[in-house]
Structure 1
Amino acid sequence: MEIVTAFIKEFVEPLMVPVKKHLGYMISCTKYVRDMSIKMRELNVARQGVEDHLKWNTRTRLKNSVQVRKWLEDVGQINEKVENISNNINNVGSCFNLKDRHMLGKKVSSLIEDIDSAKTQHSLIDWTNYPIPLGKVDSMMIPTSIRLSHHNDFQSRIPTFIEALKALGPNHKSHMIALWGMGGVGKTTMMQMIKRAVKEKKMFNFIVEAVVGEKTEPHDIQEAVANYLGIELKENTQPARAEKLRESFEAISDGGKNKFLIILDDVWQSVDMEDIGLSPLPNQGVNFKVLMTSRNRDVCTKMGVETNSILNVKILTEEESQGFFRQFVELSNDVDPELNKIGEDIVSKCCGLPIAIKTMVCTLRNKSKDAWNDALSRLEHHDIHNVVPKVFEMSYDNLQGQETKSIFLLCGLFPEDFDIPTEDLVKYGLGLKLFSRVYTIIQARTRLNACIERLMHTNLLIKSDKVDCVKMHDLVHAFVLDMFSAVDHSSIVSQSTMSGWPESDISVRSCKRISLTCKGMSEFPRDLKFRNLSLLKLMHGDKSLRFPRDFYEEMENLQARCST
């Protein structure tokens, strides 16, 4: 017996393990299914949490571990198998169908192991939450067909668009491409269309954009480039900041594997590429191309753009202008023929400039024939060089309510191409008492939103890519600054680097608003006597800059002040 017992223990019992396991598939089949359902519900709760975290990171441009999407794919496959079993569980048959119960129990047992493994992997997910550089092109972007956007489908511009896109390709020798044309012709609009196209075609790994403008300093351009690269510039001097950018470009370039598109918009003066960390010509370390827009062809040449890579963005043809106008104003064929004729004449006076046409349409939409006739007469003696300011003037004059006009002028106190926070406008509006019968911040926000809506409908403000911000076209901004020279809106506005308080023809007594960028200023004057000043806005001053003790003493009517 001892020999038999030893034999059973050594040889028979190990053989019974798989037998018991397979018997368990049949006997505990129902329990396995119940356990699977419970565990799958728990796993789906975890999956929902991961998906929510992933969406949040995507919205806020935070990096996600590669394992996150792989884990979601695995869980999705497990879920499909579970649902398939749940949907077909009634086909298993009676409790005496041992073969079907065995197969079901075996499948469910295997799925339970997969679910437990997925739950373990979930606990190992590493959410680094590092910010993605603003300029990094989304590798998950789904390509779409490339076409000119709605309301800008101008046939005469398609060749320029295609030529620019080809010049940015890897097989084209051009290193720099320029879109050249007069103000208001649509250079920035075409540049944004090209930017969208190269993103969709994944032609570059990083797209870095900086708006240069008429008075933008190299320091500001460096800051814009740094933001797109996802780095912080703590260096004080221009050469040191350029060196930090150069090192960052080389590091991110990964030996030339990553390609960069540098976009310089609205270039008035030649930009030294070395100031932003790049050599005038591509080198083996950094693979990049430059797309720039400018009103001045000579500037493009000075920047090193070859003649055949300077692409002229021309005014619209008469046919395109009239079609553009009709798309926005939506005049039907049965409308008064005379009104149609007036509209055609107005469009002709806009000289093929899209910004003038669109602003004119927004101003005249739903207005009477007399209003259209008046607009035509006011444009009568203006040509392509001065028609745009006149169009803005008419749009401003037609604004409903003094509040809307005041908010529009307030936006002009911010720098060119600035993302204007609507919350700042709320604070200034309350401080300056621009809103009638408004007593709370909530009421002020509501009133401001109504004003902004009117300004956008008249094309005097445009949408910003930043949440809760608005923007001004650079030509509209220039128009507002010209308006500030009028006595009723006497203001001192300076948005360039300066060593001291700016000189101005505006008298201390008449000045009502001051908006200054204080970069480079070492100290404030001590004898300012702006008795009628209502708003003082000081921006980007050095941390060492201090206000004199009696700085505000003579500003008796100051209602709003801001220093950043």
Structure 2
Amino acid sequence: MEVVVSTATENAMQIAVRVVKRQFSYFFNYNDKFEEVKSNIERLDNTRKRIHQVNNAEMNAEEIEDDVQHCLKQLDKKIEKYKQFIHDEYHSKTRCSIGFFPNNLSLRYRLGRNATKMVEEMEAEELWNKKFDEVSYRVLPSINSALTNTSYESFASREKTINVCMQALEDSTINMIGLYGVGGVGKTTLVKEVAKKAQEKKLFNVVVMENITRNPNIIKIQGQIAEMLGMRLEEESEIVRADRIRKRLKKEKENTLIILDDLWDGLDLNRLGIPISDENDGSEQDVNDISDSSYDKMEKEELSSDFNNMTEENLSEDHKRCKILLTSRRKQVLCNQMDVKERSTFSVGVLNETEGKTLLKRLAGIHIQNLVYDEKAIEIARMCDGLPIALVSIERKLKNKSSFVWEDVYQQMKKKSFMEGQEPIEFSIKLSYDHLKNEQLKCIFLHCARMGNDALVMDLVKFCIGLGLIQGVHTIGEARNKVNMLIEELKESSLLLESYSSNRFNMHDIVRDVALSISSKEKQMFFMKNGIIDEWPHKDQLERYMSEQSVPV
């Protein structure tokens, strides 16, 4: 019994000694622990800086991994907490002493105790040793901005077309859907509304929209499709790029809607990498159908077996999740050249007089019943042939204006139409152009028409800097902001459109045709096609152009 009591007493004494030593260490080791906390703050700061890939990833709009985000939050929180401790004003009150002992023992004890606990906490967590294989991942680009239809107006004729499109999208037996109608009738606006409604109904998780244009650039289109799918295509071969896109779409677990807008002629979807089922394909593919002078015979032979598998594989199960929506001006392109079934091909007609009048009055800000405005709105809408693009283009001239202005615009349209043979749609776009506030904005608009579809904002920035069209800017960032403001003005005038990316802009092909006509008739511009100057201008012509167009913002 005495042995047990003796052992217990010894253990209690040892514990008591350790406790007392620890308590005294708060006094005597205070300075060492204080310096240790400062040293560990530097180590944490260095760790924070070491994960510098996070900044690069955020600049590239990539998502940060959850564990990396958690670690960074911990680091920031700890660094802030420990810095507050280091800069606590009470530390200065422990520096002076009375004889051998420091002044304010209770304060020194408390601060020493806190410093010791901080050091132990940091050593236990070892945040400075954190390492990550990956700090970020690329996210699928959002097409929501491109699908924003701020100018969309719902009419009975449009709702009927949207409803039949939605039914076709929900029909598992239909893979391809076609919309056709004259230029400027609103096909692009309508398919955006269809895609928006389809996403709201959770029919599709992934939407890819691409403008094809009259002269399709397959490599460029492939690159933009890949970009919207979150891919990076580094290959130069058209066939290899198509195969990569095809495999990516086959692996897509979510329902995918691919919109190919503005087809002028038939287009082999396999060239783009878009797989189609046998029921809609209607023909057997051969690698030679994608002939190009850049492909040699050996390359074709090596890839032919893989390429032919595009149609030979059983795609019915994989691609019921992938639907294709096409638009064209001609029904023949959709049905005869693209093999879209008659039952899934729908017409987009012009607005009737009542719809045209209603749209024009809404756009122009006329919300009251007024016989004068109603009559002029009907006449102008009739002159615009019920084409929304013409009505939208002309509304800037009419917005919040008196009935006298409406009468003047109508008389101008009649004169241009009957005496000069000018199409109403051309007149309305030209009116929007004339309504731009200065020559600098007009010049930029005309150049945008030469840049093609989905043009890069940075390319326009380079053009503006090169020709001195923007003044008072000192950095590329300032120039880009200035150009973005000008682009917004052109969008507000309905002369430019949204693209699938905020870094790009678009233009309706009818607006482009009018702009090119204006360029050739009125402006001393040297023309470029796809970034290549057709003919270098004479020195006098270039100097005259520069002097006329160098207008400060």
Q: TM-score interval w.r.t. the shorter chain?
A: 0.5 to 0.7
State the SS of the aligned residue for 1:345. Answer: helix
Query: Structure 1 residues 168, 370: closer, same or farther in 2, change over 3 A?
Result: same
Q: Which ranges in structure 2 are unaligned for 5 or more consecutive residues? A: 20-44, 75-117, 278-314, 548-553
For residue 212 of structure 1, give the secondary structure of its aligned residue in structure 2: strand
Does residue 489 of structure 1 match 2:523? yes
1:426–1:325 Cα change, 3 Å: same
Look up the SS of the partner of 2:262 in the other structure: strand
Deviations 1:247-299 (A, max 9, x none): 3334xx1xx63433222111112221211223331444554211222212111
Q: Structure 1's 163 and 376: CA in aligned 2 closer, same or farther, altered over 3 A?
A: same
Q: In the alignment, does 2:398 pair up with 1:391?
A: no
Change (3 A) 1:337 1:263: closer
Q: 3-state SS of the aligned residue for 2:375?
A: helix
Whole-Å separation in 2 of the counterparts to 1:464 and 1:360: 22
Q: CA deviation at 1:200?
A: 3.7
- Report what 1:262 is aligned to: 258
1:472 maps to 507
| Deviations 1:463-512 (CA, angstroms, capped at 9, x unpaired) | 455446543222211211223332x436xxxxxxxxxxxxxxxxxxxxx4
Q: Are 1:309 and 2:344 counterparts?
A: yes
1:411 counterpart = 2:407: no
Question: 2:527: which partner in 1?
Answer: 514
**CA gap 1:233/1:371 in 2 versus in 1, 3 angstroms:** same
Distance in 1, Cα, partners of 2:161 & 2:340: 16
Q: Where does residue 28 of structure 1 map in the other structure?
A: none
- 1:446 and 1:356 map into 2 onto residues whose CA distance is 30
- Partner of residue 497, structure 2: 462
- Aligned-partner SS, 1:320: helix
2-side partners of 1:173 and 1:121: how far apart? 56
**Paired letter, 1:235:** E
Distance 2:545 2:397 in 1: 34
- Aligned-residue CA RMSD in angstroms? 5.4
1:276 has 2:272 as partner: yes
| Residue identity (%) | 25
Within a 5 Å distance, the mapping from 1:237-252 to structure 2 comes to: 237-250=237-250
Aligned position for 2:382:
348
Is 1:132 matched with 2:138?
yes
Q: Residue 163 of structure 1 aligns with which residue?
A: 164
In 2, distance between residues paired with 1:279 and 1:446? 40
Cα deviation digits, residues 96-122 of structure 1 (max 9, x gap): xxxxxxxxxxxxxxxx9xx99997799
Does the CA-based 8 Å contact 1:359-1:392 persist in structure 2? yes
SS of 1:168's equivalent in the other structure is: helix
Return closer, same or farther for 1:58/1:164 CA change in 2, 3 Å cut-off: farther
Q: How is 1:19-58 mapped onto 2 (pairs within 5 angstroms)?
A: none
Whether the 8 Å CA contact 1:136–1:205 is kept in 2: the answer is no
The alignment of Structure 1 onto Structure 2 pairs a total of residues equal to 448
Deviation (angstroms), 1:215:
0.9
Secondary structure at 1:379 match in 2: helix
**Per-residue Cα deviation, 1:176-209 (whole angstroms, up to 9, x for no partner):** 1122222112211122223333334443343333
Which residue in 1 is equivalent to 2:223?
A: 223
- Cα distance, 1:172 vs. partner? 2.3
1:426, 1:445 within 8 Å by CA — same for their partners in 2? no
> CA offset at residue 558 of structure 1?
9.0
CA contact (8 A) 1:419 1:471 kept: no
- Give the 3 Å change call, closer, same or farther, for CA 332–426 of structure 1 in structure 2: same
Q: Cα distance 1:226–1:370, how it changes in 2: closer, same or farther (>3 A)? A: same
**1:400 corresponds to which residue?**
437
Correspondence for 2:286: none
Seen in structure 2, the aligned counterparts of structure 1 residues 182 and 284 have a Cα distance that, compared at 3 Å, is same
* TM value normalised by structure 2: 0.64
TM-score (norm 1): 0.62
Tell me the residue number matched to 2:105: none
**For the structure 1 residues 518 and 279, does the alpha-carbon distance in structure 2 shift closer, same or farther, using more than 3 Å as the test?**
same
Higher helix share: 2
Is residue 427 from structure 1 mapped to residue 465 from structure 2 by the alignment?
yes
1:306 positional shift = 1.3
Report 1:189-208 matches (<5 A): 189-208=189-208
Higher relative contact order, structure no. (Cα contacts within 8 Å, ≥ 6 residues apart): 2
Deviation sequence 1:155-190 (CA, Å, 0-9, x none): 322232233233323x52110112222211221112
Q: Structure 1 residues 368, 285: CA separation in 2 closer, same or farther (over 3 Å shift)?
A: closer
Q: Which SS does the other structure have where 1:292 is aligned?
A: strand
Secondary structure of the 1:380 match is helix
Q: Which residue of 1 aligns with 2:287?
A: none
Paired letter, 2:257: L
The 2-side partners of 1:467 and 1:395 are apart by 24
8 Å contact from structure 1 (residues 321, 352) kept in 2:
yes
Deviations 1:432-452 (A, max 9, x none): xx57xx565589889867755
Partner SS for 2:63:
coil
CA distance in 1, matches of 2:431, 2:330: 28
Q: In the alignment, is residue 373 of structure 1 matched against residue 411 of structure 2?
A: no
Q: How far apart are the structure 1 equivalents of 2:70 and 2:167? A: 36
Q: Distance in 1 between matches of 2:198 and 2:123?
A: 41
**CA distance in structure 2 between the aligned counterparts of 1:158 and 1:385, rounded to whole angstroms:** 32
CA contact (8 A) 2:68 2:135 kept: no
